[in-house]
Amino acid sequence: GENVEQHPSTLSVQEGDSAVIKCTYSDSASNYFPWYKQELGKRPQLIIDIRSNVGEKKDQRIAVTLNKTAKHFSLHITETQPEDSAVYFCAVYKGSQGNLIFGKGTKLSVKP
């Protein structure tokens, strides 16, 4: 089955710096790669996603890059702000399975 590894497990940055979280996956048939943000005590919410026919996608301060050959994708947050502090989860979807496989999560702390 699919295996998703996420690194780092914790990340601390100064406000204004950039943050990068990386995920690797094992099944080359996977075709959809979302990122979810979970604030303390709240539900996971989708913040950005990318499909396998695209290499990069941006939405304001966040971007996701996908390297299908190497089977990894990354979340990039620029100009971090304290409200970016949360746990971020990557996930992988394979159409034939119909469900998402989540990484273990990265706790991001942005220090003012």
Note the residues at the interface with another protein (CB under 8 A): 32, 34, 42-46, 49, 89, 93, 97-105
* Half-sphere exposure for 11 (CA within 13 Å, toward CB): 26
Q: How far is the CB of 100 from another protein (least distance, A)?
A: 6
CA distances from 30 to 17, 56, 59 (A): 31, 16, 23
Q: How far is the CB of 93 from another protein (least distance, A)?
A: 5
Q: Measured from the CB atom, is 12 or 45 closer to another protein?
A: 45
Beta carbons within 8 Å of 60's beta carbon, 6+ residues apart: none
Q: How far is the CB of 43 from another protein (least distance, A)?
A: 4
Q: Which amino acid is at 14?
A: Q
Q: Measured from the CB atom, is 25 or 89 closer to another protein?
A: 89
